[in-house]
Amino acid sequence: MRYTIFLTSCLLPLAFCLLPLTYSLLPTPCSLKTYNFVAHKLYNCYKSRCWYKFYGASLVVKSPTPVITQLPILENGDRLSRVEFERRYHQTPEIRKAELIEGVVYVASPVRVNKHGQPHGRIITWLGTYEAATPGIMLCDNSTVRLDFDNEPQPDALLRIEQDKGGQSRISEDDYIEGAPELIVEVAASSASYDLYDKLRAYRRNGVKEYLVWLTQERKFRWYVLREGEYVQQQPDAGILSSQVFPGLRLGVEALLAGKMQQVLAVLQEGIDSEMHQEFVARLASV
């Protein structure tokens, strides 16, 4: 290949320079005819630079053809393995959120303010306040979770106990959560959402201990606790829902649905100030 490039790029111009000399050395009867023939052949060869045919000798120059490998795009409804899902997700940075649930791809639509954006922000405020008072746990917002080979959700929010503190999930070398976080929160428009069907089953099967779903359009809040392999929906006690995994994490449901965040944080602060929360913090610190 290298020699071919050398022939076409270096020797052919040299041959043109030597043509006048070859014309003077050729026998007179055939000089003009031979000169024209040689000049024509050399010109065609130099012009194309891809093949050369001279006096019956053939030389083919093949330029390397670049191989462009491009995976198919990520689309709603695709059925993929988790590995293939990640490959396609990584090559489409314009997609802000996509999930693999039970082997099926779900690409998120643009986020509406009242149905999702603002409720999401309030959940983060509530959980963030608890995290700040509880060393040894981690709050994540829209982080990818590798649950199993068919499920890679991106929950709206999650709380996890750090692995070195006895938590059941870990952070991978490429900075993803692997395994089931202790608590996951999803914001959904209605009970028709896949958050309450395929995703709920995936979370239950993989051992997410508490699963919270805010149904914004229906103005409802569901708090599921994993018991003996099944999710049991908690009922408010005096209007308050409390975590079984994170002591002191309390939610004033009616205040949250009414948008009264000061009351929500006041109820939470009561939990943070409780003796059970202080014991939980001490237990994490001792690990």
Q: What's 221's domain CATH number?
A: 3.90.1570.10
Residues with Cβ within 8 Å of 191's Cβ and at least 6 positions away in sequence, in order, are: 215, 218, 220
- DSSP for 149-178, written as a single string: TTBB---SEEEEE-GGGT-S-EE-TTS-EE
Check residue 191 and give its pLDDT. Answer: 84
Residue 184: inside a domain, yes or no? yes
Token pair belonging to 262 = 């000061």
Task: State the SS3 of 235-248.
Answer: CCECCEEECCCCCC
Residue 165: inside a domain, yes or no? yes
Same domain as 88, residue 144:
no
pLDDT in tens, 225-274: 999 999 999 999 999 999 999 999 999 999 999 999 999 999 999 999 99
Token pair belonging to 220 = 């409802």
Same domain as 278, residue 145:
yes
Residue 16: inside a domain, yes or no? no
Closest alpha carbon to 180 in 145, 149, 143: 145
Same domain as 206, residue 151:
yes
Residue 50: inside a domain, yes or no? no
Residue 40: inside a domain, yes or no? no
Q: How far apart are CA 120 and CA 109, in angstroms?
A: 15
Same domain as 215, residue 83:
no
Same domain as 279, residue 199:
yes
**Higher local confidence (pLDDT), 39 or 172:** 172
pLDDT over 80 at 46, yes or no:
no
Reported as type and span, the H/E element at residue 130 is helix 118-132
Global pTM reads 0.75
Which DSSP category does 234 fall into? -
Same domain as 161, residue 79:
no
User: If you search the block for the tokens 């050369």, which residue do you land on?
Assistant: 52
Residues with Cβ within 8 Å of 159's Cβ and at least 6 positions away in sequence, in order, are: 127, 130, 131, 137, 138, 139, 181, 182, 183, 246, 249
Q: Identify the domain boundary among 59, 83, 109.
A: 109
Closest alpha carbon to 52 in 11, 3, 2, 8: 8
The region of weakest confidence among 21-35, 78-92, 262-276 is: 21-35
* Domain residue limits at 90: 72-109
Highest mean pLDDT of the ranges 6-10, 64-68, 110-114, 242-246 = 242-246
Token pair belonging to 162 = 């750090």
Check residue 54 and give its pLDDT. Answer: 40
Check residue 69 and give its pLDDT. Answer: 60
